[in-house]
């Protein structure tokens, strides 16, 4: 059974965005806080504050690239953990436990 979508409005860097989601409010707020935090961090790191900062689109692209890189790193780590777990299970099975 699919959860019912609800309409909510989130605020990213002071701008409001309405959308529909099946996620619970706590999860949405967690995501919004993470996105705002990452955008603020990238804005500080850009070194362009003196020149008026980076454009919102550039900042969003940098954040997206960072999130995708983090996802790929997590996927790689998960694959390595699964592979190691399989090797350990095979080793345990070979000694007769």
Predicted local distance difference test score (pLDDT) of residue 59: 84
pTM: 0.69
44 strand-pairing partners? none
Report the percent of the chain where pLDDT is more than 70: 89
Q: Which residues pair with 19 in a beta bridge?
A: 8
CA 90 to the chain's CA centroid = 34
> Region 8-31: what's the mean pLDDT?
93
3-class secondary structure, 76: helix
Is 9:16 a contact under the CB 8 Å cutoff?
yes
The pLDDT tens digits of the residues spanning 36-77 come to 999 888 888 876 555 555 688 888 888 899 999 999 999 999
DSSP 51: G
Write down the domain spans for the chain.
6-94
Could you tell me the pLDDT band of residue 97, with boundaries at 50, 70 and 90? low
């Amino acid at each position: 059974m699919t959860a019912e979508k609800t309409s909510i409005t989130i605020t990213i860097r002071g701008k409001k965005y309405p959308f529909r989601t099946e996620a619970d409010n706590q999860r949405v707020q967690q995501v919004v806080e993470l996105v705002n935090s990452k955008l603020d961090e990238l804005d500080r790191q850009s070194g362009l504050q003196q020149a008026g900062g980076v454009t919102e689109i550039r900042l969003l692209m940098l954040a997206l690239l960072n999130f995708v890189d983090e996802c790929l790193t997590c996927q790689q780590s998960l694959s390595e953990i699964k592979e190691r777990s399989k090797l350990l299970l095979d080793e345990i099975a070979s000694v007769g436990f």
